[in-house]
Amino acid sequence: MDVLPKARMLRLTVSTSGIRLDSYLTKTFPQFSRAYLQKLIEQGYILVNQRQAKASRKLAGEDKITIEFPPLPTLPKAESIPLNIIYEDNEIIVVDKPAGLTIHPAPWHPDHTLVNAILAHCPGLEGSGGLVRPGIVHRLDKDTSGLIVVAKNESARVSLINQFKGKTVTKSYLVLVNGRVFPGRGTIELPIGRDPRNRKRMAIVEGGREAITRYQVKRYFGDYTLLDVMPKTGRTHQIRVHLATIGYPVVGDPVYGVKLAYLGRQFIHAHRLGFYSPSTNQYLEFSAPLPEELKQVLEMLPH
């Protein structure tokens, strides 16, 4: 998403037939991602013939589309949100993020994020990484807990981004899955892209982006397995999609996994993170224990 059209309210007349609404809009406004436009459709900012429509609606010639672009997020405001800071120096902050905390603001989630909390702790961060996502170099799902590193300045941000792109960052997640995983270790190499049948989901698709996930069994709990999962790439929902595809869905994952009566979130915790210091090039590695709610889940399972 780069810039909004000069007019925040636009009216278009469709000149073709048979194309999906979201596909038509993506071609018309290439500066926006399909996901962003789908969100606008879902929230009623985009109407077809003055009525709310689905992203999958097939358009007909002479259909009238009305678009009301919401204002772009402004510079996030500092909010006093508690942070569990594992490490901090002049270049970086490493935080153990709780489940339920979104990483950065978005048009449909403008505040109460990790970025808002970081700005309260480190006001000088505002110039790094753009207006909406200052200092952010990688992400965790909202309902994934664990370690995330934030850059305090532009040089640190560029260094960390290059490390993630170069696959030199160590990332390890503790993940509870349904089923007794066999063999005890393995590598999943399956391309991931948007599910063509449901654009809100990711799936294994031909022509998708390369995705590599390594895993190793840590312990069996009856018909469940605790895994140490090491993704070598960082695709959206990669761990959840890969494990579900090989028959071991993540416990507590409402989209690709299986429910557990006494777990209100997905059992994924980023417990190890390693990278090279942007200033000294020294290798740094950090760990974060399972949060209490996940420890309690393991205690309730068969041993």
Cis check: omega of the bond before 183, within 30 degrees of 0: yes
Is the distance from CB of 184 to CB of 157 less than 8 angstroms? Answer: no
Residue 141 bears catalytic tag: yes
Rounded to an integer, what distance in angstroms lies between the CA atom of residue 282 and that of residue 22?
46
Rounded to an integer, what distance in angstroms lies between the CA atom of residue 175 and that of residue 86?
21
Is the distance from CB of 216 to CB of 227 less than 8 angstroms? Answer: yes
222 CB-contact burial (10 Å; exposed 0-12 / middle 13-18 / buried 19+): exposed
Q: Catalytic: which of 22, 63, 96, 141?
A: 141
How is residue 223 written in tokens? 């018909």
199 CB-contact burial (10 Å; exposed 0-12 / middle 13-18 / buried 19+): middle
Query: CA-based Rg of the chain, rounded to a whole angstrom?
Result: 21
- In the chain, the N- to C-terminal Cα span, in Å, equals 49
Q: List the catalytic residues.
A: 141
